[in-house]
Amino acid sequence: MENLSTLVNHQIRLAARPNGLPTRDDWSFTTAPVSEPEEGGILVKTLSLSLDPAMRGWMNEGKSYIAPVEIGEVMRAGGIGVVLVSKNSSFNVGDHVTGAPGVQHYWPVGDKQVARGDVSKIDLRVGTIEQWLNVLGMPGMTGYFGLMDVGQPKAGETVVVSGAAGAVGQTVGQLAKIKGCRTVGIAGGAEKCAWVVNELGFDACIDYKAGDLKAALKQQCPKGVDIYFDNVGGDILDAVLTRIARGARIIICGAISQYNNTGAVKGPANYLSLLVNRARMEGIVVFDYAPRFHIAIAEMAGYLKDGRMKSREDIAVGLEHFPETLLRLFRGENFGKLILQVAKD
Amino acid sequence: MENLSTLVNHQIRLAARPNGLPTRDDWSFTTAPVSEPEEGGILVKTLSLSLDPAMRGWMNEGKSYIAPVEIGEVMRAGGIGVVLVSKNSSFNVGDHVTGAPGVQHYWPVGDKQVARGDVSKIDLRVGTIEQWLNVLGMPGMTGYFGLMDVGQPKAGETVVVSGAAGAVGQTVGQLAKIKGCRTVGIAGGAEKCAWVVNELGFDACIDYKAGDLKAALKQQCPKGVDIYFDNVGGDILDAVLTRIARGARIIICGAISQYNNTGAVKGPANYLSLLVNRARMEGIVVFDYAPRFHIAIAEMAGYLKDGRMKSREDIAVGLEHFPETLLRLFRGENFGKLILQVAKD
């Protein structure tokens, strides 16, 4: 067993509620000693953290689908770690586990937290740590259940996904392609769009920064948009609404364009297109599908194995770089799932 | 047979596309002779016209769920008439029929129009002319299929409907009550709200003009809103979005608050509540349910007969009063389904 007294838990805590984009002042850097877990608990060493657009919402006051991070709390973050000390018979030292370690090097998981399922083992023979944070993890599950359960794609339909180069977007587009759909991404910049087509295999990708999004949608989706998986909201959602097909399904997964607004959220002015087209807009929260994650993971792992699905990550290194790395999401700088590696296995 | 040469067909035509609320100048008053129908056709004398919020949309340029009324055309209007001359073996003189006579005294229905089902017989033993334009007509069918098919109410759920005193609203609220739901209307003014509760039997009605709509919703819907049937859009839709329950269904039927906007439609800024609450917003167009109208009519006629459903109409008289009567809808002045009676049976 490690000598815990030599270890220091570096942590990043929420110091203030950001107004707009989070700044350095919204964070505080703290350290804490690392101690033995209580009976029934485990101590996890964090390896890699998942950086997600949803984190911005957790920093705001007020309840959403999940409680906000309180001021002074270690910032919430999903991630993967390795069991360093175990006082629970279900976990062995060296087991790889997933859960929400938070932005810190060591994650003490108490008896009750273990009992309620806050931490679960992952099998690195099924996928790498990166894949477990991406297409086999929360973003992958979000894309899978949003597309399959809410979207209900049929072969030959046209599926459009915004944030196409992101973690959820890449899953949705590739999965839609596997299901026989025409897949059109929306992303920012020519380079990213080329990557979405060439690397991820989408049929097309529209650069929303290049100008006339409606015209591009008309060109790439001549029969209209049957499924729109929305990660961004704002003007892009409004543009897609003008091109939906009859009976379209719009999955509301997120609205990254609006998360750092200091004013009101921009509502979709073209929402009456739902009426004209007998279409539906529906929200999804991935946690609801937890009982079926294992089914989706098995299916996705199969696609990873046979090469039909790629898991692409954009990896930064070092816990201390969390604040500026998170901003890359909101600046649209990541190509693939953004991961912060904080320790080597 | 009538001497048709003595008859004059007074008509109201669309003269210009309105900017905001339609004015007198947007209409032209014309007359036309009345002639024998062609072989296979019929001539219908208009009795009563249905005045509906959707008419405002038909006056705009550009395709919606239905083609716009062209400049110079007789204004489209649903209604009921009586067959005056028949050259079609399926119709007898004196038959009562429903269809879209338009704003005119006489409606010539050609061979092809009859063949494609533009006109259909109604049975006045099942309901009165007014009821056939209201709960047994398009508004009733809209309310029925919007609530039942899209909303899927379950006993004990809370159903909120805006435009509660209108034709669709009264159907939705009463039907939801029959299905065992708590029914809360939203309407403009204390008098109208009292009428919705006392006359139509809603559990409650919120006066949106009285002030804090969100607080009133919280009070009247303590467990949240499971189904919201939206006829109005705008700020009311936005307020209800803050109070929806998990798994809520929002039926987008119309947006009367936005139809006379000269600027952009106000999109629902709180649409991300769909995500937080795993809720759905879906559009409905009544024509899609035409094959099942007869089933809904039979059910609704039963409720009319046993007194569980009331059909309340607000009747104006005289074709020439069409322009100002239509405006009553947009000013929220009607108590019940607005009907323009243009001739006696």
Chain-chain contact of B253 with A275 (C-beta, under 8 angstroms): yes
End-to-end CA separation in angstroms for chain B: 16
The pLDDT-based confidence of A2 (bands split at 50, 70, 90) is: low
pLDDT tens, B63-97?
A: 778 899 999 999 999 999 999 999 999 999 999 99
| Residue A165, φ and ψ in degrees, nearest 5 | -90, -5
Q: Which residue of A has its CA nearest to B63?
A: A276
- Inform me whether the pLDDT recorded for A1 exceeds 60: no
Chain-chain contact of A252 with B274 (C-beta, under 8 angstroms): yes
pLDDT tens, B149-166?
A: 999 999 999 999 999 999
Could you tell me whether strands A225-230 and A244-252 are parallel, antiparallel, or unpaired per DSSP bridges? parallel
Q: Which two tokens stand for residue A24?
A: 């350095």
- Enclosing H/E stretch for B112: helix B111-115
Q: Which residues contact B307 (CB under 8 A, 6 or more apart)?
A: none
Query: Which one of B273, B276, B282 has the shortest CB-CB distance to A280?
Result: B282
Instruction: Give mean pLDDT, residues A122-145.
Output: 96
DSSP label at A199? Answer: T
Q: What is the pLDDT of residue A27?
A: 98
The pLDDT-based confidence of A265 (bands split at 50, 70, 90) is: confident
**Same CATH fold assignment for domains A4-134+312-341 and A138-287:** no
Centre a 10 Å sphere on the Cβ of residue B245 and count the other Cβ atoms it contains. Answer: 18
| Burial of A89 per CB tally in 10 Å (0-12, 13-18, 19+) | exposed
Residue with tokens 């759905």: B280
Would you kindly state where each structural domain of chain B is located, as residue ranges?
4-134+312-341, 138-287
Q: What is the pLDDT of residue B197?
A: 98
| Residue B252, φ and ψ in degrees, nearest 5 | -95, 105
For the ranges A317-321, B19-23, B215-219, the lowest mean pLDDT is seen at B19-23
| CB-defined contacts A:B, below 8 A | 104
pLDDT tens, A97-114?
A: 999 999 999 999 999 999
Distance CA B75, CA B220 (A): 41
Centre a 10 Å sphere on the Cβ of residue A5 and count the other Cβ atoms it contains. Answer: 9
CA angle A244, A249, A250 (to 5 degrees): 85
Q: Which residues of A touch B282 (CB under 8 A)?
A: 274, 278-281
Query: Which one of A65, A272, A282 has the shortest CB-CB distance to B265?
Result: A272
Which amino acid type is present at position B194?
A
- Asked if B188 and B205 count as a contact pair (C-beta separation under 8 A), the reply is no
Which of A238, A282, A284 would you mutate first to test chain B, the one with the most B CBs within 10 A?
Answer: A282
Distance CA A217, CA A159 (A): 11
Specify the CATH architecture of the domain A4-134+312-341.
Alpha-Beta Complex (3.90)
Chain-chain contact of B267 with A270 (C-beta, under 8 angstroms): yes
Q: Which residues of A touch B278 (CB under 8 A)?
A: 282-285, 288
Instruction: Give mean pLDDT, residues A235-252.
Output: 97
Query: Which one of B255, B275, B282 has the shortest CB-CB distance to A283?
Result: B275
Report how far Cα A66 is from the mean position of its chain's Cα atoms. Answer: 15
The pLDDT-based confidence of B1 (bands split at 50, 70, 90) is: low
**The domain B138-287 belongs to what CATH superfamily?**
NAD(P)-binding Rossmann-like Domain (3.40.50.720)
Distance from CA of A166 to the nearest CA of B (A): 19
Q: Which residues contact B297 (CB under 8 A, 6 or more apart)?
A: B126, B136, B140, B141
The mean pLDDT of chain B is: 95
Chain-chain contact of B267 with A268 (C-beta, under 8 angstroms): yes
Q: Which residues of B touch A266 (CB under 8 A)?
A: 267, 269
Q: Which residues contact B86 (CB under 8 A, 6 or more apart)?
A: B37, B42, B43, B92, B93, B95
Chain-chain contact of B280 with A282 (C-beta, under 8 angstroms): yes
| Burial profile A287-300: b = 16 or more Cβ within 10 angstroms, e = fewer | eebeeebeebbeeb
What percentage of chain A reaches a pLDDT higher than 70? 99
